[in-house]
């Protein structure tokens, strides 16, 4: 079947009244689910998955349940930016990078522009990704298959290279922040060997925790706490603590923000000005749309790394990188375009290979299997009546999401008009409730509060927080892929930097990982060398 006629048929089915209504309902539900700290698209899709059986019976349309869940997915990607901008609390891990510049914009009275920028950039990123999805699905699925463990590690290394530029000119503090984040990422049980790390258990306690599925809670007096900590540092706990509690404490300390937060006004003219102002954010939006989709199609990558990497690349290529973190609209556009682009990209390996590209698509994959669908290379041929209406709904849901988001901006801005004496307790309560709702454990709540106070003191000491947060996000994946690659190469690091390393016994050359690795090494070394040269010049001048 030709792509264009099939897409037209799919769009026609997607705009049928019942499917259009499901798209609108799904987007609105997803918008508020994504805006609530601790929920996000994974929980929203999982919680509402049982409703799809009712939808299937009511509509007798094989694509209707998936259209509903995909709309929730899209809406949640948009919604994550709302609490990031208005409260400084990431609605989900995919919206952490949006907090870096979105919250400063809100504090300066430009929350309306930040929300407009997030909505339009999300729409552009989602549309670009859907176009790629439509036209290049078979080709892109084969590219994703070429990414083995060495390639994914090289990509993670490239992401770390962008971290070095996120901390400004103080390279030592930036490197400390990165290493501290990597240290936090190692807490828990080693995924390769199963050994406990940084949880300080004796042999009896280790045995009890390793057998905790059928074990006796009496075996360890503090069994619940140990079992909780053995899972490692949950990223959402860190993110809510750093950007919820930490931001609240910082804002209380920075009393100059109390006036500007209440000055945000909204009108049709200001919204139109924000839309027109998107022309100044073309670079961040372009980077986020392209890089986000590319990262999204990699199996098990997801939207969070895509948004964080896009933010880093946008800052590295900016003419004014110091403005990032201070309220640069491009710093909102890049991650928001990326997380929507990546969310669409993550659907590609799920549908063409049967490999979920993110936690949310893993839930969607389970739903497809429940409905008797078999994701894989034959899905496009065997079930076109399902595939093309779903792709058509991507376009429809994306359009519905941007309209709903822009229409609700006055409601979102009402939050900022509250006096901070009221808003601070709201942030505190939402942070606690969001953390507890995500993991159902008070230990995570206490850890979240601890991270909040720690983040505040690090900011007082002028340490950059973004590199540490990003290191926690990618640290586990990077370590796992590196060690699996070294197992494949018998400990030879040449698998990362040499295209002639024979990893398959066939003498085949592998270029993706070496090129990516060398680019990453250059990007890491360059700012360090420049910093050292500046220090040397400064020391020479002082001696003179």
CA 529/CA 525 separation, integer angstroms: 6
The tens place of each residue's pLDDT in the chain, 544 residues long, gives: 577 788 888 888 888 888 889 888 988 888 877 777 656 676 677 667 767 777 877 777 777 887 888 888 888 888 878 878 887 777 677 788 888 898 888 888 888 888 889 989 999 998 999 888 887 766 665 666 667 788 878 877 877 776 675 545 577 888 888 888 888 888 877 777 777 777 766 566 556 655 544 444 444 444 455 555 667 787 778 877 887 788 778 777 765 444 344 455 666 677 787 788 888 888 889 999 998 888 887 765 567 778 888 888 888 888 888 888 888 898 999 999 998 898 888 887 777 766 666 667 766 776 777 677 767 666 777 777 777 888 888 888 888 888 888 888 887 777 666 666 777 787 788 788 878 876 777 878 888 899 889 988 888 888 877 778 777 877 877 888 888 888 888 888 888 888 888 776 666 777 788 888 888 888 788 778 877 777 777 655 445 4
* The pair of three-digit structure tokens given for residue 318, joined into one six-digit string: 């900016």
H-run or E-run covering 425:
helix 420-439
Residues 6+ apart with CB under 8 A from 499: 509, 510, 511, 514, 515
Q: Which pLDDT value is given to residue 411?
A: 77
Query: What are 435's strand-pairing partners?
Result: none
Query: What does the block give as tokens for 443?
Result: 């230990």
User: Tokens in use for 462?
Assistant: 């002028």
Would you say 75 and 95 are in contact if contact means Cβ atoms under 8 Å apart? Answer: no
Strand partners, 197: 188
HSE-CB at 92 with a 13 A cutoff on CA atoms is 32
H helices, E strands: number in the chain: 28, 2
Model pLDDT for residues 386-400, shown as the tens digit of each residue: 778 888 888 888 888
Interatomic CA distance for residues 74 and 81, integer angstroms: 12
Please give the DSSP secondary-structure letter assigned to residue 240. Answer: H
Give pTM, 2 decimals: 0.71
């Amino acid at each position: 079947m030709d792509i264009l006629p099939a897409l037209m048929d799919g769009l026609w089915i997607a705009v049928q009244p019942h499917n259009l209504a499901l798209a609108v309902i799904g987007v609105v539900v997803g918008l508020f689910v994504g805006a609530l700290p601790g929920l996000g698209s994974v929980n929203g899709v999982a919680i509402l998955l049982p409703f799809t059986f009712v939808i299937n019976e009511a509509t007798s349309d094989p694509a209707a349940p998936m259209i509903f869940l995909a709309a929730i997915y899209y809406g949640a990607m948009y919604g994550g930016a709302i609490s990031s901008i208005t409260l400084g609390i990431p609605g989900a891990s995919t919206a952490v990078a949006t907090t870096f510049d979105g919250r400063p914009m809100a504090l300066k009275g430009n929350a309306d522009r930040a929300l407009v920028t997030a909505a339009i950039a999300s729409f552009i990123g989602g549309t670009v990704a859907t176009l790629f999805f439509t036209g290049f699905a078979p080709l892109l699925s084969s590219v994703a298959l070429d990414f083995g463990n060495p390639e994914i590690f090289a990509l993670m290394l490239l992401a770390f290279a962008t971290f070095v530029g996120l901390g400004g000119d103080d390279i030592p503090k930036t490197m400390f922040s990165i290493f501290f984040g990597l240290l936090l990422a190692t807490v828990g049980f080693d995924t390769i060997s199963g050994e406990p790390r940084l949880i300080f258990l004796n042999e009896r306690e280790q045995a009890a925790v390793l057998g905790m599925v059928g074990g006796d809670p009496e075996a360890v007096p503090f069994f619940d706490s140990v079992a909780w900590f053995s899972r490692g540092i949950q990223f959402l706990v860190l993110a809510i603590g750093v950007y919820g509690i930490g931001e609240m404490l910082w804002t209380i300390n920075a009393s100059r923000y109390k006036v500007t937060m209440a000055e945000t006004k909204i009108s049709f003219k200001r919204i139109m000005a924000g839309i027109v102002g998107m022309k100044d954010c073309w670079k961040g939006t372009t980077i986020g749309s392209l890089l986000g989709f590319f990262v999204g199609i990699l199996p098990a990558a997801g939207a969070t790394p895509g948004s964080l990497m896009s933010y880093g690349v946008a800052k590295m290529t900016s003419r004014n990188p110091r403005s990032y973190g201070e309220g640069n609209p491009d710093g909102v556009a890049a991650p928001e375009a990326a997380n929507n682009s990546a969310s669409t990209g993550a659907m590609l390996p799920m549908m063409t290979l049967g490999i979920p590209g993110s936690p949310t698509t893993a839930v969607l994959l389970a739903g497809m299997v429940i409905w008797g669908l078999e994701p894989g290379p034959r899905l496009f041929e065997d079930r076109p009546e399902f595939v093309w209406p779903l792709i058509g709904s991507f376009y429809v849901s994306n359009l519905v999401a941007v309209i709903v988001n822009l229409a609700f901006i006055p409601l979102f801005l009402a939050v900022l008009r509250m006096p901070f004496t009221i808003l601070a307790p709201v942030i505190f309560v939402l942070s606690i409730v969001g953390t507890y709702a995500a993991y159902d454990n008070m230990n995570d709540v206490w850890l979240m509060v601890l991270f909040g106070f720690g983040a505040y003191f690090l900011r007082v000491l002028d340490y950059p927080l973004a590199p540490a947060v990003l290191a926690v996000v990618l640290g586990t994946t990077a370590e796992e892929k590196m060690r699996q690659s070294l197992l494949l190469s018998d400990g030879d690091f040449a698998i990362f930097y040499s295209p002639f390393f024979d990893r398959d016994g066939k003498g085949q050359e592998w270029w993706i990982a070496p090129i990516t690795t060398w680019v990453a090494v250059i990007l890491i070394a360059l700012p360090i060398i420049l910093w050292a040269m500046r220090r040397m010049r400064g020391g020479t001048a002082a001696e003179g």
